[in-house]
Amino acid sequence: MGSLSVRPHICVVGSLNIDHTARTPRCPGPGETLTASSSQVSMGGKGANQAVACGRASITSRSSRQEPDTLVTMIGAVGGDDQYFSSLIQPTLAASGVSTEYIKQIESQNTGTAYIIVEEAAGCENRILVIPGANHSPSMNDLEGVLASITQQQPPCDVVLLQGEIPSSTVLGILHHFNSQAQGPKVVFNPAPVFPAGIPLSALRGTAVLIMNETEAVQVLSCVDAETAAAKTIVAAETLRPKDIARRIHQLAMVQVVIITLGSKGVFYSTIAGTAGLVQGVAVDAVVDTTAAGDTFVGYFAVHYAKLVAGSSKSLDHLDSPIQLAVQVANSAAAVTVQRLGASSSVPFAYELSL
């Protein structure tokens, strides 16, 4: 295990949104107006949600004097004159133990916005429309500027956490940059959503941790297969079991750890050294809102992973046995999230978990 003489440091590079959530018995049809059960305005965006999850996973006591056991920094962009930044986004992140120093306010842009419908009759599944706003601003398209924001931090980042809601050129550039280095931060990548043009093998190769749901896993493997095999030899990814998908991603992209979330069926995990397993789903009393469950899992896993790799070499072989515990904790946190309404507001603190 790496040295923990200093706290592990996670840099989350990603989206920040204002979420407008409506809860409804069912979704309206074309031309139909329904009365919703409730509405809520909260901070969201996969980047912000995962940063909150990282921060709250690091707070193990209710005491206001407790220092988070992991440093978490958010890198992103919001609108320059958005009242929600000072009244909602910044306070929510700060109260979750996340540094907001590297969030840029862009005068010519609006903060990203998401409109979420939570349908009670469909097991509280959600439907989401996203307007990227500042998440796709020139600032977030500036790869060199984003890399500088990561590399200039002290103490240095141990883990860079990425998703798919900022420009693909920036995400792929960060992957290329850090995956090609023998030393430096490890990349935890949650390809959600998977970019329409796919994810090139050259960017994915050497990624430390890849966390996907079943749909994203099929999409990612299809991208990898398309670059590494003749079309006639490719077995349709959607016909494969999670362990087969993981094995092929290990072999073809040299990803160290592959995690595939399976909803109520649990989580499959696999390491390049050959350790694999299934962590069973956690039974809950009632599913209220699934909006940030995946982000909670990613953030909690990233914190436990950062504690394992802080100060270590590029080799991750020593992580095989602790990976299962990290998955179990992350899965338990996600189970709490689905029983609450909202995005970042539904993410639990570590001291709330019963493990």
Q: Give pLDDT tens digits for 263-318.
A: 889 999 999 998 999 999 888 888 887 778 999 999 999 999 999 988 665 455 56
pLDDT of amino acid 264: 85
Block residue for tokens 């306070």 = 91
What residue numbers does the annotated binding site cover? Answer: 17-19, 45-49, 165, 213, 261-266, 289, 291, 294-295, 331, 337, 340, 342, 346
CA distance 66 to 58: 10
* Catalytically annotated residue among 158, 295, 317, 320: 295
- Residue 350, CA distances (Å) to 14, 188, 347 in order: 23, 20, 10
What residue numbers does the annotated binding site for ATP cover? Answer: 213, 261-266, 294-295, 331
**The overall pTM is greater than 0.85:** yes
Q: Which has more confidence, 314 or 193?
A: 193
- Residue 347, CA distances (Å) to 203, 211, 338 in order: 30, 18, 9
- Structural domains of the chain sorted by starting position, each given as residue range(s) with its CATH number in brackets: 9-16+45-111+133-347 (3.40.1190.20)
Residue 1 above 50 pLDDT? no
Residue 233 above 60 pLDDT? no
User: pLDDT digit string (tens) for 67-104?
Assistant: 889 999 999 999 998 889 999 999 999 999 999 999 99
Percent of the chain clearing pLDDT 90 (strictly above): 67
What residue numbers does the annotated binding site for substrate cover? Answer: 17-19, 45-49, 165, 295
The answer to whether residue 295 is catalytic is yes
Provide the strand spans (E) within 17-176: 17-24, 38-44, 71-79, 98-106, 112-119, 125-131, 159-162
